[in-house]
Every structure is written in C-alpha cells, then in structure tokens.
C-alpha cells in the first residue's frame, strides 16, 4: 500500500490520479478536509481508505501501519505563504514531517518522498542550487518557507535524506487547485479575471531593471510536477533534495497572454501598484537549477507554458463549474 498525505490536495490528488491511471489503487489517503471543498478532488479517485491527519499519527504510534507499506508520498502541509501562526506551521509542516520520517526511516524498506518548496530560496540572492551544502545557506522570506526549510535541514543533518527524496516544487499550477483560495495559482486567477473583467491585473514593477509584468517565475504544470515526483518511485537508489521546475523562467505577461490566447480573447493587461510593504519581500525572479534532477535519470520534456495553460483552461477550467472568482483582485 502507498500512503499519500495531503491526498485530497492539489498535487496529492493529481499524484493519486496518475497512480490510478497506472493501475494502482492500493492507496491510503491522509488529509484534513475541514469545511473546504477539497473533498471534491477525491470524487474521481480510487483508493483503499481515508484517515484524518490528526488520527493518522496516533495510529502510527500504535503500529497500525508498520507493515505492508511500500511508499509514503508526503504532500500534506499548510502551503499558505501568508499564514501568521508560526507555531501552527512548525507543528503542521515541520513536526508532522519529522514524525513520519522517524517512523519510516532506518531500514524499513519504505520509499519516502516529501514536498519541500521553492519558497525556501527566499529572495533568490543565494541562488537556486539544490545541492545540500548550498541549502544550508538559504534564508526564506516567510514562515511557510522556513518551516519547509527546517525539515530539509533536519533531513540533511540526520542523514535521513540519504534514503529519502525531498522535492522543491516551484510555481505549480493546474487542475484541482480550486480549494486553495488566495493561494491559487496566477493561471487560475488570470482565467477568472478574463472571464469576469475581460482583463488581467498584474503588479507594477518597483525596480528599474524589470518592466511592468516582466517579473519572472519558473511556472510548472502539475502534470509535469507529478511525473517528476513519481519518477522517484521507480528509482529507489536516487536520494536527496531535488528542484522540480522547468529551468525556464517566464514572466507574468507571458502567462497572462497565454490565458487570453486559450480563451481566444483580445489581450488587455492592467498594471496596478503593489500593496504597501510587499515590495520589500517580493521575488522578481525564480528559476530552478535542473541538473540534479536530470542526473537522477528524469528525461521527460516539460510542457511549454503556452501549451500547459491551454490544456488547463480548455480541458479543465472551461469544463468545471466549481470555480468561483478568487477574492484577491491582483497578484504577481
């Protein structure tokens, strides 16, 4: 059996979908559904059972999942970059991950793959290298990034990472992110703005070396992120921390243009001021260094941004009535 924590979430549900397509349904979903509509991500999935994340740790302590587990794919976390409760993030992202790692560390024979984040790279001034000696120098800009960074450091210091895989996901977008509220991707926000306003709002640049809308991100489609994740199920000897991006930075103007094109709409971008204080902690550029992932045997090509956005808009957003326009009117 494969355990997928955060299995009802964005990346987790796409992982289970891909496992199902490969004929695998011996899956235990661990998550916290609360009052969100995240449960709808489970509707089309096949799995053996579901456990609340709060109950799951207690069950582990009783030894209920000590046998028969082939892999733990740990995607569960609070992914809000604006979460202010530091104790909650420490318990949920760092403490929970550490408890799972301790349970399935050692010589258990369980493949352990967990989600880190590109948020650990902070403002990017210390580079985007996923080599372990470079990771120790990073300084995240928010508590979410720090909680992820702390577990990376623990995994490296204890040697756990030598028998596990940590994946630093960059800007992932795609199906099953409806429930994420203000943490939805730029792609889905742009889609709803075009549909409701016939325009997209982007932040103005506060730096002379970047024109408005030319701030860059490494956008990666969730289908590609899942391929990279499941690659490590088949490579038990490939361990360590790896970037999961495309290695190709694209700007927000490119992404907005891709949404207009997918909807066959005339392009209309409006540039607005950043909220006060955001300019002090704003990333103008992110780009994954991909050599390490390629060296681990991952050879698949990533979808071009334009093709990924078109697939998302035409085959998912236009077909699914769940979406409501997000409350935030701008981003970047």
CA dihedral 288, 294, 298, 304 (to 10 degrees): 50
Q: What are the C-alpha distances in Å from 174 to residues 44, 100, 162, 268, 303? A: 16, 28, 31, 23, 12
For residues 250 and 209, is the Cβ–Cβ distance under 8 A? no
The single residue of 40, 53, 180, 227 carrying the catalytic annotation is: 180
For 252, the 3-state DSSP assignment is helix
For residues 232 and 111, is the Cβ–Cβ distance under 8 A? yes
What is the rounded distance in angstroms from the CA atom of residue 85 to the CA atom of residue 296?
Answer: 37
**Cβ-count burial 285-314 (b if 16+ within 10 Å, e if not):** bbbbbbebbeebebeeebbebbebbbbbbe
CA-nearest of 6, 76, 74 to 41 is 6
Phi, psi (rounded to 5 degrees) for 54: -65, -40
Does residue 199 carry a catalytic annotation? no
Does residue 144 carry a catalytic annotation? yes
The single residue of 121, 144, 178, 191 carrying the catalytic annotation is: 144
Rg (CA), the chain: 19
SS3 string, 182-241, reads: HHCCHHHHHHHHHHHHCCEEEECCCCCCCCCCCCEECEEEHHHHHHHHHHCCCCCCCCEE
- Helix pair 10-21, 222-231: axis angle to 10 deg: 70
- Token representation of residue 12: 């987790």
CA-nearest of 297, 179, 295, 311 to 227 is 297
Triad 132, 218, 11: Cα angle to 5°? 80
**Catalytic machinery residues:** 144, 180
């Amino acid at each position: 059996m494969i355990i997928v924590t955060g299995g009802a979430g964005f990346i987790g549900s796409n992982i289970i979908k891909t496992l199902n397509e490969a004929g695998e349904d011996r899956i235990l979903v661990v998550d916290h559904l609360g009052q969100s509509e995240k449960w709808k991500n489970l509707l089309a999935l096949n799995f053996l059972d579901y456990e609340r994340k709060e109950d799951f740790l207690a069950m582990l302590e009783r030894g209920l999942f000590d046998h028969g587990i082939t892999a733990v794919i740990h995607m569960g976390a609070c992914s809000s970059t604006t979460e202010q409760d530091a104790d909650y993030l420490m318990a949920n992202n760092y403490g929970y991950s550490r408890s799972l790692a301790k349970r399935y560390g050692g010589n258990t024979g369980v493949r352990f793959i967990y989600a880190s984040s590109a948020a650990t790279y902070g403002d990017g001034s210390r580079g985007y290298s996923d080599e372990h000696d470079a990771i120790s120098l990073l300084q995240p800009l928010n508590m979410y990034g720090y909680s992820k960074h702390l577990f990376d450091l623990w995994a490296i210091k204890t040697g756990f990472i030598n028998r596990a895989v940590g994946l630093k996901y960059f800007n992932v977008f795609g199906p099953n992110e409806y429930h994420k509220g203000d943490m939805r991707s730029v792609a889905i926000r742009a889609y709803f703005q075009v549909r409701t306003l016939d325009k997209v709002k982007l932040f103005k640049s506060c730096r002379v070396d970047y024109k408005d809308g030319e701030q860059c991100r490494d956008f990666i489609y969730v289908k590609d992120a899942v391929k990279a994740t499941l690659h490590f199920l088949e490579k038990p000897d490939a361990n360590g921390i790896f970037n999961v991006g495309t290695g190709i930075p694209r700007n927000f103007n490119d992404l907005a243009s891709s949404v207009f094109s997918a909807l066959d709409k005339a392009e209309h971008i409006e540039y607005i001021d950043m909220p006060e204080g955001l300019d002090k902690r704003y990333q103008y550029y992110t780009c994954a260094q991909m050599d390490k992932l390629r060296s681990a045997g991952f050879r698949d090509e990533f979808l071009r941004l334009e093709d990924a956005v078109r697939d998302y808009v035409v085959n998912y957003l236009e077909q699914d009535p769940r979406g409501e326009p997000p409350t935030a009117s701008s981003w970047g």
